Structure 1
Amino acid sequence: MRYTLHQLAAGSYDLALDGVIVGGVVRETTAGGALTGWCAELLEDLPVATRPRPFDCVEHRFPTLEAATAWLGGARIVSAPSLHLN
């Protein structure tokens, strides 16, 4: 199983497992905009036995994006593709 993060906007990523979106990783901030950490979350609250590893609960919080990607087995970040207008 390989995770990838697909950038949607600054601080927001779709979380894909083998090419299928299973969740998201988002930056968490205070009301004033200060960074408080990152959250990796599954889209569905699956039974524990069927959750993709390493998820043992639906949400996991991390102090940095690097900590989240490491926990996801070294998930690769994929930037949004550039669009070309003709």
Structure 2
Amino acid sequence: MTSWQGTPVAVNPDDTPIGDAYLTHEAVRAVLERQDNRCAGCSAVLDAGSTYFDLRLPVICGGPHTLGNLAALCPSCHRNHMRRIRKQFADHRNK
């Protein structure tokens, strides 16, 4: 697999594909268990009502659509993650 920059992207052999639009309860449970119910960004304890699930490397940037690329984030880390992705994508488009 390659990124949007054309460089190879490593995919863990145990990564399993996730759905296109919705996460299953099993996928959510797997990610939360892997992260010990803590935010992937700041390690804060996650609240069921305000947990965001983001791809670490978005598909538009060449990331795989797999559980291994999925992270659970608190609202603050989600905002920061989205800000970085928007900037990265804008920088790429301006080149």
TM-score by length of 2: 0.24
